[in-house]
């Protein structure tokens, strides 16, 4: 994905909520943490079966519902090692609409 794509309305994902979307055949989950939006690839890379949509929030990250691997929303880094890092995407909100953009850098 090289440009931003509209994926939802702001009212669709109130603070504390999440929503799975599909962009170019990829399942991505949007999280609204007190008005700040994060987008992360929806499958845990450990077994590729657990949807992060069902994961438990942990600060600015989410824990896999199956084995507890934690992924940082800003970097995609996994607490169990870089071989399990996942993709995170840029998000912007304009005029009440939410847009997903290219992958974030791992900085």
For residue 48, the model assigns a pLDDT of 85
Nearest of 15, 53, 19, 51 to residue 32 by alpha carbon: 15
Backbone φ/ψ region at 2: left (φ over 0), alpha (ψ -120 to 50), beta? alpha
For residue 47, the model assigns a pLDDT of 84
Q: How far apart are CA 30 and CA 93, in angstroms?
A: 12
For residue 1, the model assigns a pLDDT of 66
Q: How far apart are CA 7 and CA 84, in angstroms?
A: 26
| pLDDT tens digits, 63-73 | 999 999 999 99
Map out the domains of the chain as residue ranges.
5-103
Q: DSSP string spanning the chain?
A: --S-EEEEEGGGS-TT-EEEEEETTEEEEEEEETTEEEEEESB-TTTS--BGGGSEE-SSEEE-TTT--EEETTT--BTT-GGG---EEEEEEETTEEEEEEEPP--
Token duo for residue 65: 């519902």
CATH of 5-103, one of 3.30.450.40, 3.20.20.140, 2.102.10.10, 1.20.210.10: 2.102.10.10
Taking residues 16-26, what's their average pLDDT?
94
Kindly indicate the confidence band of residue 12, based on its pLDDT and cuts at 50, 70 and 90.
very high
| pLDDT tens digits, 33-87 | 999 999 999 999 988 889 999 999 999 999 999 999 999 999 999 999 999 999 9
Taking residues 81-98, what's their average pLDDT?
96
């Amino acid at each position: 994905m090289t440009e931003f794509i509209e994926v939802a309305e702001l009212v669709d994902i109130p603070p504390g909520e999440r929503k799975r979307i599909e962009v170019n055949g990829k399942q991505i989950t949007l999280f609204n943490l007190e008005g700040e939006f994060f987008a992360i690839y929806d499958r845990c890379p450990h077994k590729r079966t657990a949807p992060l949509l069902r994961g438990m929030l942990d600060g600015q990250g989410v824990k896999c519902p199956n084995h507890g691997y934690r992924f940082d929303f800003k970097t995609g880094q996994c607490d169990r090692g870089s071989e399990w890092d996942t993709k995170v995407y840029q998000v912007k909100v304009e005029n009440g609409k939410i847009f997903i953009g290219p992958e974030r850098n791992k900085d």
